[in-house]
Structure 1
Amino acid sequence: MKENVLKSFVRDTYKNTSAIPYIITGQAFMFILLHIFELLSFDDVISIDLFKWTYEHLSLPSSIQVFIQQPWSLITHPFLYKSIFNILFDCLWLYWIGNIFLNFLNNRQLLTVFFGALTLGGLLYIGVSSFPYFSHSPKYWNTTTFGLAALISSVALLVPNLQVRMFLLGDIKLRTIAFLYLAIQFVFLIIDTPVAAIVYVFTAGFGAMFIGQLQKGNDWSKFFKKSRRPKHLKIVQGKNAGRDNSSNRKHPTDLPNQDLIDQILDKISVSGYESLNSQEKEVLFKASKQDQ
């Protein structure tokens, strides 16, 4: 019997531990909901403007006073989009760059870079907007622009020589694509929202700093790693009590060594991922799975 297409899609999309499908789903859901509210308000079906109310209460305000009244906007603002082209563009980049990131590092590190940049960018946006020179800045800010800047800069520093095949252009190094993306986005922001352009530079720097510290052995994402409770000693009685169970345990040498991981990351930053041999790739894979 042929499997239902919707069930197959849901299973294949959400079966792994990646947070990317969930983030994109949240963005798509809020986009549809927001524009349903717009249609209801436009047709005078309801007395209040739900579109305006939702947009203003979930977007990040540029005023500190307004932000104090709606601090949740620091979390909700990346999921709000008005233009279908903006959401499609950002979702495609998040999916593409995010999956490249997860080929080398783990899900916790991706969330640290992405949401760390969004939080840092949101707070900086409010702070910079409070200066008199930027008093004419837009009242509200949304989209995942700051998070994408951090992800792209981090991947560009992690695997700068990774070759990406572009339609009609051939193979292009990832660092070239990242530089062009960040530069073009910065120019657009300078023209449209100067405050966001300033914050954009800091969030891109945050992503680069994360990888720089990771290559030195400092993993900022470990701050969010759940501490595992120590297992209690289990007393076994009977004929199996004295049997050595070491065969069921992983030998310490089977686990990736941090110094070796650092050497592999240094090699990637210099020569790219393609320079690794099969053994080094396996070590990197085991390390990423161990930290999840």
Structure 2
Amino acid sequence: MRENVLKSFVRDTYKNTSSIPYIITGQVLMFVLIHVFELLSFDEIIAVDLFQWTYQHLSLSNSIKVFIQQPWSLFTHPFIYKGIFNLLFDCLWLYWIGNIFLNFLNNRQLLTVFLGGLFIGGLLYIAIGSFPYFSNPTRYWNTTTFGLAALMSSVMTLVPNLEIRMFFFGNIRLKTIAIIYIGLQFIFLIIEIPAAGVAYLPIACLGGCFIWQLQNGNDWSGLFKKNRRAKHLRVVEGKSIHDLINTKRKHPTDLPNQDLVDQILDKISASGYESLNSHEKEVLFKASKQDE
């Protein structure tokens, strides 16, 4: 019975095209691994402090000299966590905000925002460390904070008026949650790790710029699209959503056309996601999957 439950969990978790379960799995496995190293070092089972060695070589230093010696840290630092609560909350935020993002857009666009925030934020962190005030070669940066900032701001820009029901607080608009989250993170970083704090705000703006450009017809994620012509969002004058549904979709199983998706996104921008009816939500969901 337990085996069946495990198989069912694995199948349900990894059967879809979302990258979120794979990212979280990588973070958890790396967390377990480095803490096994810590246990081995603490018990003096091995002579080398393998935990500290792994932490330093996989985390991101804000020293350009150190980064040149270990350039792979730009790709490994999001998976390094020392504290279990930091890991837990980052995974929860990624799962929650990431799935809201995927309700409207596709997995390729999610990876563009999330990974773009991680890598550009990491490079900014290194560049800012070249200034004497911010330089601290012994201070290492890790976690997915930059990626979450970009993802949070992108969702806030896409559906700012989407209401989330929260315990004790009732319904709260997504833009309020995002502003509080980004604000608190910035204050914490600017106090604890000034170089990361300075890099944080531009990365938070990056996610919003991605959505703004998408709504204006420029899909930055199209750079990573293989063997398919990039589609652009465009405003269709003089046609209602109802007209497009009737004239363009000849069969209920057909994928939605781009004109219809544009109209729905315009409606979200003007009135919020909650203004959509069930059919429009279904169309938007199918559109988010067709380019994956």
Is the structural similarity TM-score above 0.5? yes
Give 1:286 deviation, angstroms.
Answer: 3.0
Matched, 1:22 2:22: yes
| Aligned pairs (5 A) from 1:158-173 | 158-173=158-173
The code of the aligned residue for 1:225 comes to K
Distance 1:104 1:198, change over 3 A: same
Matched, 1:85 2:89: no
- Which 10-residue stretch deviates more, 55-64 or 273-282? 273-282
Give 1:48 deviation, angstroms.
Answer: 0.8
Give 1:279 deviation, angstroms.
Answer: 4.0
Larger Rg: 1
Q: Report SS of the residue matched to 1:131.
A: coil
Matched, 1:129 2:126: no
1:188-243: CA deviation from partner (whole Å, max 9, x where unpaired): 111101111111101111100000011111111111112159xxxxxxxxxxxxxx
Give 1:261 deviation, angstroms.
Answer: 2.5
What is the CA RMSD across the aligned residues, in angstroms?
2.1
The match for 1:65 is 65
Following the alignment from structure 2 to structure 1, what is the Cα–Cα distance between the partners of residues 63 and 250? 56
Give 1:80 deviation, angstroms.
Answer: 0.3
Following the alignment from structure 2 to structure 1, what is the Cα–Cα distance between the partners of residues 2 and 137? 55
The match for 2:282 is 282
The code of the aligned residue for 2:80 comes to L
Give 1:47 deviation, angstroms.
Answer: 1.2
TM-score (norm 1): 0.88
The match for 2:223 is 223
| Aligned pairs (5 A) from 1:1-292 | 4-136=4-136, 139-227=139-227, 256-292=256-292
Q: Report SS of the residue matched to 1:164.
A: strand
The code of the aligned residue for 2:216 comes to K
Distance 1:185 1:108, change over 3 A: same
Following the alignment from structure 1 to structure 2, what is the Cα–Cα distance between the partners of residues 172 and 198? 28
Aligned residue pairs, count = 272
Q: Report SS of the residue matched to 2:187.
A: helix
TM-score (norm 2): 0.88
- Percent sequence identity over aligned pairs: 73
Q: Report SS of the residue matched to 2:217.
A: coil
Give 1:282 deviation, angstroms.
Answer: 3.5
The code of the aligned residue for 1:144 comes to T
Following the alignment from structure 2 to structure 1, what is the Cα–Cα distance between the partners of residues 110 and 98? 7
Give 1:290 deviation, angstroms.
Answer: 1.8
Give 1:7 deviation, angstroms.
Answer: 1.1
Contact kept in structure 2, 1:97 and 1:155, CA below 8 Å: yes
Q: Report SS of the residue matched to 1:8.
A: helix
1:62-97: CA deviation from partner (whole Å, max 9, x where unpaired): 111111111111110000000011000100100100
The runs of 5 or more residues in structure 2 that have no matched partner are 230-248
The runs of 5 or more residues in structure 1 that have no matched partner are 230-249
The match for 1:246 is none
Following the alignment from structure 2 to structure 1, what is the Cα–Cα distance between the partners of residues 219 and 156? 18
Following the alignment from structure 2 to structure 1, what is the Cα–Cα distance between the partners of residues 70 and 188? 28
Following the alignment from structure 2 to structure 1, what is the Cα–Cα distance between the partners of residues 66 and 137? 14
Following the alignment from structure 2 to structure 1, what is the Cα–Cα distance between the partners of residues 214 and 258? 11
Q: Report SS of the residue matched to 1:133.
A: coil
The code of the aligned residue for 1:14 comes to Y
Q: Report SS of the residue matched to 1:104.
A: coil
Following the alignment from structure 1 to structure 2, what is the Cα–Cα distance between the partners of residues 161 and 110? 20
Give 1:259 deviation, angstroms.
Answer: 4.1
Contact kept in structure 2, 1:63 and 1:139, CA below 8 Å: no
1:154-186: CA deviation from partner (whole Å, max 9, x where unpaired): 101111111100001111111101111111111
Following the alignment from structure 1 to structure 2, what is the Cα–Cα distance between the partners of residues 2 and 151? 36
Contact kept in structure 2, 1:60 and 1:67, CA below 8 Å: yes
Give 1:138 deviation, angstroms.
Answer: 5.1
1:256-279: CA deviation from partner (whole Å, max 9, x where unpaired): 443443332222123111112344
Give 1:251 deviation, angstroms.
Answer: 7.4
